[in-house]
Structure 1
Amino acid sequence: MTESAKPLAGVKVVEFGTLIAGPFCSRILAEFGAEVIKIEAPGEGDPLRKWRKLYPTGDGETSLWWFVQARNKQSVTLNLKHPEGIAIARKLVAEADIVVENFRPGVMEKLGLGWDPLSAINPGLVMVRLSGFGQTGPMASQPGFGAIGESMGGLRYVTGFPDRPPVKTGISIGDSIAALWGALGALMALRHREVHGGKGQVVDVALYEAVFAMMESLVPEFDVFGFIRERTGNVMPGITPSNTHTTRDGKHLIIGANGDAIFRRLMLAIGRVDLADDPQLGSNAGRDARAAEIYGVIDAWVGANDAETVLRIAAEAQVPSSPIYSVADMFRDPQFLARQMLEVAQLPDGKDFRIPGVIPKLSLTPGETRWLGPALGEHTETVLDRLGYSPDEIVRLRGDGAI
């Protein structure tokens, strides 16, 4: 597929962001053909370059996460504390469709890169602003990471077991959810610009709101019934049966039989015709009222069999079930492999390694990995040359500390 055939071909993005939310937002756009120029501080770059597991490269060590998070992006170093660095940033924004930033509200304004000056030089600009609490409200100026968004947004409160403190998920889910909302908002704003006269707008994403938006029936249940959803471990009251069970050989499996017909099929498959034919258990409400009994039956059946047997019987009965995968399990799973969810890429020294595949799967214009996260400032000279800077000017700017 040619570059021009990609769904976001021709869309230009300037990213002022570090770590997770902003960079993940622009990564999504880059995977589907947008030209993303990532602005990084000279000599430092995005801190994510040094997070978690590091791999030796020509300039020291680089995070394996970085290679994925910054794939398909161009790295340009600009000193945003230097007037000429700001001047270059403004030139880039003048020709951009989207700016993505995840600084604390007010930082871009102090740099002269807030919405008003940028929209003045580029009226069609879409500016995606990701922050802990949004651009307005009494907490707007406070720092807020994904963990805070998960806590205030309600996710942490309902995660874990009732007799223990709340727990986090194993990844920075709040940042990633906010990034998805940011990318979606950017595309909606581009669509509006296309249809309604070319005017850009701000996409204001608060991390706590991004999480809050995923919280299902939390709000109406409290407002109408005064009901506060609490931590319930691996079960969710009101949706029965769906739970984690442990097999005879010590494997943990998920079985979700909370559909009426699915529940009946499971009971028949495990030899409990009495429960399959019980009229009270033919609806979710009836099953939920007898949840302890049902989970006891399923626990006993699963515990008497090994994982392979449980999964085979469940599959034959068309009951949703799965082992709880580690990443090692994913590397062996035929479904992951068939859908190219483990792409082969090359590290800077040529060594093959696996990276996550691109989603969603578009049938005509799929996303792809064109290159991995670049070296710091790898594209600075190329981009400045395109903006009209001569080689001598580039040397001067570097010597002055502007790039």
Structure 2
Amino acid sequence: MEDGIFKGLKVLDCASFIAAPAAATVLSDFGADVIKIEPPGAGDPYRNLPNLPGYPRSEHNYAWMMESRNKKSLALDLAKPEGQAVLYRLVTESDVFITNFPPPVRARLKMAYNDLAPLNDRLIYACFTGYGDRGAEADKPGFDSTAWWARSGMMDLVRADDDTTPARSVAGMGDHPCAMALYGAIVTALYKRERTGKGSQVKSNLMANGVWASSVLAQAKLVGATFEKRRPRERALNALANHYRCRDGRWIMLSLLAEDRQWPILARCIGREELADDARFAAKAGRHARSLELIAILDDAFAQRDLAEWRTLLDGKGLVFGFVGILDDIPNDRQMIDNDVLVPFEDSDIMTINSPIWIDGTRKKKPRLPPGIGQHSDEILRDAGFDDEAIAALRAAGAVA
């Protein structure tokens, strides 16, 4: 399918910051026609993210590039009746409407599910919230840092020990996994529509996705499991599932769960063959009981070479290991490029990050650079049946820019 599985699917992206519009981006990658609805003037506030304190400075709006590639922009003032009328016209001929506006805002702008569903009984109405749409916190705003990372327990769980300051998340860290959840909900509803002919409302939220990501340990707490006291890296209970600093300051991560087979191989790779037969470490029980001793030995061993050397020595030996990547690695990561994790924008040498799913027999659209504010307003309105006189009237009323 050269034009994508979703060729002809019309999507209205009426959302911001970050999970909901990112779900629309995935649909666009597979050929959907996505209209980004943003307010006239400054446009979607997400456009301003790179200008906030602490963000990398660049001539390119990197945040907008990723979330709004392939989309067309309609600058529409939904607070005006004329703007709402345009939205309703678009809804009648659309397949998917995506929003993450808080419930009170949706009600005020007359774009709640009950407002839009009667206009089109095939519409998939996808809404995303911070904490769900019921209960005392239903109207509470949230970002992935607060509702996904902090609320779920992950912010606490990644601490080295109980005395370590909790770690902050990075921009979009939870939003992008959440986008895949919302995308999955939309695609499931489209499948349901194929079977029933009817649209439906689909929902997801940051809090639910955060606890889902906490998974194993959250479920352990739910069944009343007894937890070990958290230990720092130097005192880990398993030296072969731990991370070590290399000579150049980079870190390597071991995850040798098949210890009995993999431990002798590792011992040879680090030039310490005698450790495989050392009575202290020959058996798994001994390695675990003497984990602090083994960590100290491995600390010394890995400090003798740079990360690149260790990758060469360990690759192809049947050992499960990784390295702690840094952003400097990504632009030249051959494995990412070979697997289309990184792809170029159309007619540009600038790379972007692909959505993380592929389907045999269909080709994703080559990503287009994102639109300017209202860049496609006239085109979208004409396609919806507005003539030049009607478009001029909408502009005069300030409903469209």
| TM-score, reference length from structure 1 | 0.88
Shift of 1:365: 1.2
Instruction: Give the AA of the match of 1:204.
Output: K
Shift of 1:220: 3.4
**Per chain length, whose mean CA-contact separation is higher, i.e. which structure has more relative contact order (CA < 8 Å, sep 6+)?**
2
Instruction: Give the AA of the match of 1:46.
Output: D
Q: Does 1:318 align with 2:318?
A: yes
Label 1:112 to 1:236 Cα distance change in 2 as closer, same or farther (>3 A): farther
Structure-2 separation of matches of 1:370 and 1:48: 19
Q: Secondary structure at the match of 2:155?
A: coil
Label 1:239 to 1:189 Cα distance change in 2 as closer, same or farther (>3 A): farther
Contact 2:211–2:218 (CA<8 Å) still a contact in 1? no
Structure-1 separation of matches of 2:188 and 2:251: 41
Task: In structure 2, list runs of 5 or more residues that go unmatched.
Answer: 51-55
Contact 1:71–1:369 (CA<8 Å) still a contact in 2? no
Shift of 1:231: 5.7
Label 1:135 to 1:383 Cα distance change in 2 as closer, same or farther (>3 A): same
Structure-1 separation of matches of 2:210 and 2:381: 38
Partner of 2:9: 11
Contact 2:243–2:253 (CA<8 Å) still a contact in 1? yes
Partner of 2:299: 299
Residues 228-237 or 353-362, more deviating = 228-237
Partner of 2:369: 372
Contact 1:178–1:210 (CA<8 Å) still a contact in 2? yes
Structure-2 separation of matches of 1:344 and 1:223: 45
Offset from partner CA, 1:5-51 (integer Å, 9 cap, x none): x1222222111111212111111111111111110001121122222
Label 1:202 to 1:381 Cα distance change in 2 as closer, same or farther (>3 A): same
Q: Does 1:269 align with 2:269?
A: yes
Q: Does 1:308 align with 2:293?
A: no
Structure-2 separation of matches of 1:70 and 1:12: 15
Alignment of 1:166-205 (within 5 A): 166-195=166-195, 197-205=196-204
Label 1:286 to 1:125 Cα distance change in 2 as closer, same or farther (>3 A): farther
Partner of 1:120: 118
Partner of 2:108: 110
Contact 1:264–1:277 (CA<8 Å) still a contact in 2? no
Contact 2:2–2:363 (CA<8 Å) still a contact in 1? no
Contact 1:159–1:231 (CA<8 Å) still a contact in 2? no
Shift of 1:186: 0.7
Label 1:133 to 1:267 Cα distance change in 2 as closer, same or farther (>3 A): same
Instruction: Give the AA of the match of 1:361.
Output: W
Instruction: Give the AA of the match of 1:155.
Output: M
Offset from partner CA, 1:67-93 (integer Å, 9 cap, x none): 221001111111101101001111111
Q: Secondary structure at the match of 1:335?
A: helix
Task: In structure 1, list runs of 5 or more residues that go unmatched.
Answer: 57-61
Contact 1:239–1:258 (CA<8 Å) still a contact in 2? no
Shift of 1:257: 1.9
| TM-score, reference length from structure 2 | 0.88
Structure-2 separation of matches of 1:232 and 1:128: 42
Alignment of 1:1-400 (within 5 A): 2-3=2-3, 6-52=4-50, 63-149=61-147, 150-162=149-161, 163-195=163-195, 197-227=196-226, 241-260=240-259, 261-270=261-270, 271-275=272-276, 287-345=287-345, 352-400=349-397
Label 1:312 to 1:141 Cα distance change in 2 as closer, same or farther (>3 A): same
Label 1:112 to 1:390 Cα distance change in 2 as closer, same or farther (>3 A): same
Shift of 1:290: 4.1
Instruction: Give the AA of the match of 1:81.
Output: A
Offset from partner CA, 1:145-191 (integer Å, 9 cap, x none): 11111111121111222121211233332222221111111111111
- RMSD over equivalenced CA pairs, Å: 2.7
Structure-2 separation of matches of 1:272 and 1:286: 17
Structure-2 separation of matches of 1:66 and 1:252: 32
Residues 316-325 or 226-235, more deviating = 226-235
Structure-2 separation of matches of 1:235 and 1:85: 60
Partner of 1:59: none
